[in-house]
Amino acid sequence: MAIMNVEHAETLRAELNRSGTVLVDYGAPRCGPCRTLLPILEELDDEYDSVSIVKVNCDELPELASEAGVMGLPTVVVYSGGQPVEKLVGLRPKSVYQGVLRKYAAVSSSTS
């Protein structure tokens, strides 16, 4: 699976309504930590087949950032069954993202 760049609000909403776990990266090209996060997300995308990874450019889609309560960049929100279950503000080590995904990817794959 490849990381999806959201260009329209409807695209994100449709992705969140699918069953399973979705990791959404709310960031912006001007944000240095956001650029640092991208290779981590690419590695996670390779490691977790059952997780969809989606990027939202907060400069282009501020309404989505507002809906998710984004106050700082990057913000990663993990959704399970369409509901937000974890929010991580700021750049974190890869192991933190892995720990969160392990919790919810296991749940989503056992119910599929």
Give catalytic residue positions: 31, 34
Alpha-carbon distance 73 to 71, whole Å? Answer: 7
The structure tokens 């909403």 sit at 13
The β-bridge partners of 75 are 26, 89
Alpha-helix runs per DSSP H in the chain: 9-17, 32-47, 62-67, 94-111
Alpha-carbon distance 60 to 50, whole Å? Answer: 28
